[in-house]
Chain A
Amino acid sequence: MSLGSNGNLPNTGEKATTYTKKDFVSSQTVRWCPGCGDYAILDAVQKSFATLGIPREKIVVVSGIGCSSRFPYYMDTYGFHTIHGRAPAFATGLKVSRPDLSVWVITGDGDGLSIGGNHLMHAMRRNLDIKILLFNNRIYGLTKGQYSPTSEIGKKTKTSPLGSVDRPLYPTSIALAAEATFVARSVDVYGAHLRDVIHRAAQHRGSSFVEILQNCNIFNDGAWADLADRKTRDNHKLDLEHRKPMIFGENRTKGIKLGEGLQPTVVDLASNGVSEDDLILHDENTSNPALAYMLSRMSPPDFPTPLGVFRAIEEETYEAAVHRQIEDARGNSTPADLEALLKSGDIWEVS
């Protein structure tokens, strides 16, 4: 996958280029259940971080509560394991006050979309330059198996013994509606793809939202089985490539065409009269999020699951705007010192 050119990485230190995965492995024993998809994600993140060219001490990993949120403890960077759902809010204060840091938020479907939905939304709409990795396993793992905001209707769990009647959210739709400037999706076990997506997210200047489809082998095993299984995955995923037609299938014989009423439809390239030219051309950079939103709503069984970068547009970041305002204000007024400030307003002298 080609990397975007809009890099925003802090100055690369000499030693930064010499990192390997090991430099990002902390001394703590990893405590996820054996077989959990989080291991693969941790591996991909550690490997990508080694290639980012960002000095290790400039990276901060912030998380909330949940299985995914144990992540910072396993990364040998600065890390902050905070409270349930609020990681984006902590990250906001950190990034605005320290724009020089590379700030990563690790969250899950419960942490990010349920208790923390408000903060996730507002971090993205401000276009804060933070990187949000949302591990979506469609279940509450740490509390031992309750349905989550992404669980499918009918899902039987401890708290939904007759099946969930809650309608699920599409995390990428939420990100787009919240004005995220970078939205992407990958799968826990897709090592190379996941590393590339993380790399792209890191290079994006602004809020990056990455949904990582993750298996919870204890409470929701096979959550993304069709995508995980090497034998079936090609028929179930749509690899998004910038400026390329939307083609998928193990023999690349299927495509996505825009049908009536702006509805996407799956077409067979082998059948008569349909050519690649009829297919939707993916474009990450359109300012109108409609195409990306359409992708975010495409889901099985009628559609393949889109993977890769849905959207990547450039806008001024929140922290840049905040500091620009401060600099402008400084420029316009005489540099006011403390004394001048204390003596401002209606002043009188008693002699």
Chain B
Amino acid sequence: MEAPQVSQTEAVGTERKQAAVIRFAGDSGDGMQLTGNQFTTTSALLGNDIATLPDFPAEIRAPAGTVPGVSGFQVQFSSQEIFTPGDEPDVLVAMNAAALKVNLPTLRKGRTVIVNTDGFDASNLAKAGYQNNPLEDGTLDGYRSIPVALTTNTLKALRDSPLQNRGKQRCKNFYALGIMYWLYSRPLDATEKWISKQFAKSPDIVDANLTAMRAGFSYAEVSELFQIQYEVPAAPQEHGLYRSITGNKALALGLYTASVKSGVPLFVASYPITPASDILAELARMKPQGVITMQAEDEIAAVCAAIGSAFGGSLGITMTSGPGLALKAEAIGLAVTTELPLVVINVQRGGPSTGLPTKTEQSDLLQALFGRNGESPIAVVAASSASGCFDAAFEAVRIATQYMTPVVVLSDGYLANGAEPWKVPDVNSIPTIPVKFRTDPEGFQPFLRNEETLARPWVRPGTPELEHRIGGLEHTDISGDVSYDPDNHQHMTMQRAEKIARIAKSIPLIEPFGDDKGDLLVVGWGGTYGALHEATVQAQSKKLKVSHIHLHHINPFAANLGKLLRRFKNVLVAELNLGQLDMLIRSRFAIETIKLNKIQGQPFTVSEVLATIEDTIQEIHQ
């Protein structure tokens, strides 16, 4: 079968758009993540800037057709630089009644919804909790509703396929993807290649999926479903090589890069937990590069094994999500007092307890800083975008090894799974991380500190004449001998705190986006960067005196944070929690702040941040 070419028929016009947001929604068995990812890859290859928001249920397969089983994937693709997956879709694809029920509230009137009419039979309606069929009862009034019998059409297109009926039905997501490819004038070749490779072992499935996608594309072209076809041209991007990257993948690459740049081997131990599990999977694929990975028996074993490897002279890494961080707390305290390097990645999710495993939140900030017994300061860094996860992981290794300390890297569910284009860095431009193991026995003491950083020496067991013991009991500075002396304990507590404070000397000053003084400073950290930045851009274009800073170092803060905060009349601290960074800022700098908090398992939308900025500034001027 010939692949349909992207063409403009006489019947429809083409409209050029700066950006578009689409959302695929269906049952978790409908392949919506896959479909969304394909659309994203194709758009990225076309040169669009992209940002994605996968939104899937906690259950692997909730009962088919039900509201808890709905899986969604939103992508914004643009001819301009973008920072978020978009507040609301322009086009929603709803594969069944439950998907419509869950997603219709995010769709503004006048926007387009493509509904699979085959997903609205009596049973679908009942499972979705619809009394009446929303396709008939006026629910869709005011929307541009495009009913397509996706399942029926797919079966028709596949009548010659040897697949069973069930297998044919499963191709309907590619039929839907074909329609969307036509609507946004995208070529099919990247997905065609992917299908051929992915299902290479089953040629019948390859054929069926290709046929379904091409049929969807042709159907959109000839059926006059749409009065118009859109084009979203490539975004101006810096010259270079790009790849699409998720936060979890970027963390894995950042860790490995840090290992190469420090010359210290990577040892990774982790226990599966959503949404962090993929990081271990990514690293496990780096065995040919010499990365040692281990799936530990539990969260505690994972962090302990990482610390054990650090004692042996490796970069000990573990990754988890909030509940796992709680379990690792005691061991992290041991790394604090024995002053061993350790990187703990925490991909935050909704809490407390099991909470919302697949949804995003920023509510582990205080746990990361303080969730241990005793005075046990550690460094905390936060990633602010999917690609920024690479830098955060690298920075964590730098701090851990230069200061002999545990470092927690905070990511979140939104960054973990969201994809964006990433300009692959030039390997030679990445700085080295100088690590020197102590081998000289002359004057050696286990806690003899570097005068500048206060770091103690890192010694690999196996080094003759440096045999020494470390442990969780309080010990004397320099000698490391166990000590219960009251003054020594105070001294050591201060030393450990001072060591973390001194990290500030090695981190860059914050440069605000916008003026370094004004009416309002928007302060954020972590995965909210895109929404806060975009809202600030829009506020600035309305001539509001707003600037934005986004913290990558939370413990310690960059040295100029306090000064910057005081140069603004108001400070708005926006976070996906009840005000944890806000609490730190208020107590540290004794300033008044305004808070914007959201705890819905969802990222900020640009419009809600913008509205808060506008309201705040209006109040100032009243």
Selected contact of B242 from candidates A62, A326, A347, CB within 8 Å: A347
Distance to closest chain B CB from A317 (angstroms): 14
Q: Cβ of A195: which chain B residues have Cβ within 8 Å of it?
A: none
The winner among A55, A72, A97, A341 for most chain B CB atoms within 10 A is A97
Query: Is B482 a contact partner of A350 (Cβ separation < 8 A)?
Result: no
Scoring B residues 284 to 313 as 1 if CB is less than 8 Å from chain A, else 0, what string do you get?
Answer: 001111101010111011101111111111
- Tell me if B44 and A349 are in contact (CB < 8 A): no
- When the two chains form the complex, which single residue of B41, B465, B469 contacts A80, counting CB atoms closer than 8 Å? B469
Within 8 A of B (CB), among A154-197: none
In the complex, whether B481 has a CB less than 8 A from a CB of chain A is yes
Which residues of chain B are within 8 angstroms of A86 by Cβ–Cβ distance? Answer: 300-301, 304, 331
Interface locus among B252-260, B351-359, B607-615: B252-260
A83 touches B472 (CB 8 A): yes
In the bound complex, do residue B465 and residue A346 qualify as a contact, i.e. CB atoms below 8 Å apart? no
Q: Give every chain A residue within 8 A of B287 (Cβ-Cβ).
A: 325-326, 329-330
Decide if A89 touches B308 in the complex (CB within 8 Å).
yes
Residues of A within 8 A of B267 (CB): 93, 96-97
| Interface: B518 (CB within 8 A) | no
Interface residues in B, total, Cβ within 8 A: 69
Residues of A within 8 A of B243 (CB): 343, 345-348
Residue of A nearest to B427 (CB): A339
Closest to A61 in B: B469
A33 at the interface (CB under 8 A from B): no
- B244 sits at the interface (CB 8 A): yes
Answer yes or no: A260 CB below 8 A from chain B CBs: no
A34 to chain B, nearest CB (A): 19
Q: A92 an interface residue at 8 Å Cβ cutoff?
A: yes
How long is the Cα–Cα vector from A90 to B256 in the complex, in angstroms? 22
Who on chain A is nearest to B331 by CB?
A: A83
Contact pattern, B 179-220, Cβ under 8 Å of A = 1, otherwise 0? 000000000001000000000000000000000000000000
A223 is an interface residue with CB less than 8 A from chain B: no
Judge whether A275 is part of the interface by a CB distance below 8 angstroms.
Answer: no
CB <8 Å contact, A342 and B469: no
Tell me the smallest distance from the CB of A308 to a CB of chain B, in Å: 30
Q: How large is the interface on A (under 10, 10 to 19, 20 to 34, 35 or more residues)?
A: 35 or more
Given known A57-B461, A57-B462, contact A73–B300 (CB-CB < 8 A): no
Chain A 198-236 interface mask (CB, 8 Å, partner B; 1/0)? 000000000000000000000000000000000000000
Mostly, the B contact residues are mixed
Contact in complex: B294, A96 (CB < 8 Å): yes
Q: In the complex, are the beta carbons of A97 and B482 less than 8 A apart?
A: no
In the complex, A336 has a CB within 8 A of chain B: yes
At the interface, yes or no: B569 with Cβ under 8 Å from chain A?
Answer: no
User: Nearest Cβ distance between residue A78 and chain B, in whole angstroms?
Assistant: 4
Tell me the bound Cα distance from A122 to B260 in angstroms.
31
* Contact between chains at B306 and A93 (CB < 8 Å): yes
Whether B313 pairs with A326 at a CB distance below 8 angstroms is: no
Q: Does A94 contact B (CB under 8 A)?
A: yes
User: Which one of A82, A322, A342 lies within 8 Å of B304 (CB-CB)?
Assistant: A82
For residue B240, CB closer than 8 A to chain A, the reply is yes
Cβ of A67 under 8 Å from chain B: no
Q: Are B461 and A60 in contact (CB under 8 A)?
A: yes
- For window 288-336 of chain A, which residues contact chain B by CB distance below 8 Å? 322, 325-326, 329-330, 332-333, 335-336
Given contacts A55-B464, A343-B243, A348-B45, contact A80 B301 (CB under 8 A): no
Q: Is B241 an interface residue when CB atoms closer than 8 A count as contact?
A: yes
Given A57-B465, A83-B331, A333-B288, 18 more pairs with CB closer than 8 A: A57-B462, A57-B466, A57-B467, A79-B471, A80-B470, A86-B300, A86-B301, A90-B307, A93-B312, A96-B267, A97-B312, A98-B461, A330-B290, A341-B289, A346-B41, A348-B47, A350-B238, A350-B240
28 A-B residue pairings within 8 Å (CB atoms): A57-B462, A60-B312, A60-B461, A77-B467, A78-B461, A80-B470, A89-B300, A89-B304, A92-B304, A93-B269, A93-B312, A97-B265, A97-B308, A97-B313, A98-B312, A98-B462, A100-B462, A101-B312, A101-B461, A119-B301, A122-B297, A122-B301, A326-B288, A326-B292, A338-B257, A342-B424, A346-B190, A347-B241
